[in-house]
């Protein structure tokens, strides 16, 4: 059974930082492209950052320079370091694992940034 479990969300003031973690079980995380998505109230889910099996990363323009994605394959874990958080970063953050036709999602972790 595949599970992705996110943690690290919470309430933070604007300008603050959080680090999200996503621990995978039931898959060999190293072969997957991992992504962090977020969904704000009333909006569609959007890709925030991704990292390939080879370690190449990309981030959305809206978080470029503030968010960093990384992975520790030995721990089957992917991280999202979020700095200089702004109220518009508020939402539920989801971890995603993708390989060929397979895609898995975590249950999400809430991030709330107060102004």
pLDDT digits (tens, 9 = 90+) for 59-91: 999 999 999 999 999 999 999 999 999 999 999
The sign of the dihedral angle between the CA atoms of 87, 61, 83, 58 is positive
Q: What is the pLDDT of residue 27?
A: 92
Are β-strands 33-39 and 91-99 bridged in parallel, bridged antiparallel, or unpaired?
Answer: antiparallel
Return the structure tokens found at 85.
Answer: 């958080």
Mean pLDDT, to the nearest integer, of 88-103? 97
Q: What pLDDT is stored for residue 102 in this prediction?
A: 95
Residue 113: band (very low, low, confident or very high) from pLDDT cuts 50, 70, 90: very high
Average pLDDT on 48-69 reads 97
Q: What is the pLDDT of residue 66?
A: 98
The residue-averaged pLDDT of 89-112 equals: 97
Q: pLDDT value at position 75?
A: 96
26: alpha, beta or left? (left if phi > 0; alpha if psi -120 to 50): left
């Amino acid at each position: 059974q595949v599970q992705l479990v996110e943690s690290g969300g919470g309430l933070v003031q604007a300008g603050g930082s959080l680090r999200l973690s996503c621990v995978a079980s039931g898959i060999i995380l190293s072969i997957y492209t991992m992504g962090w998505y977020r969904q704000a109230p009333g909006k569609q889910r959007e890709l925030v950052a991704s990292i390939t099996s080879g370690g190449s990363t990309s981030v959305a323009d809206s978080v470029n320079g503030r968010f960093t994605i990384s992975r520790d394959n030995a721990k089957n874990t992917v991280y999202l370091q979020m700095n200089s958080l702004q109220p518009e970063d508020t939402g539920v953050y989801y971890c995603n694992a993708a390989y060929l036709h397979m895609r898995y999602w975590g249950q999400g972790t809430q991030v709330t940034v107060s102004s």
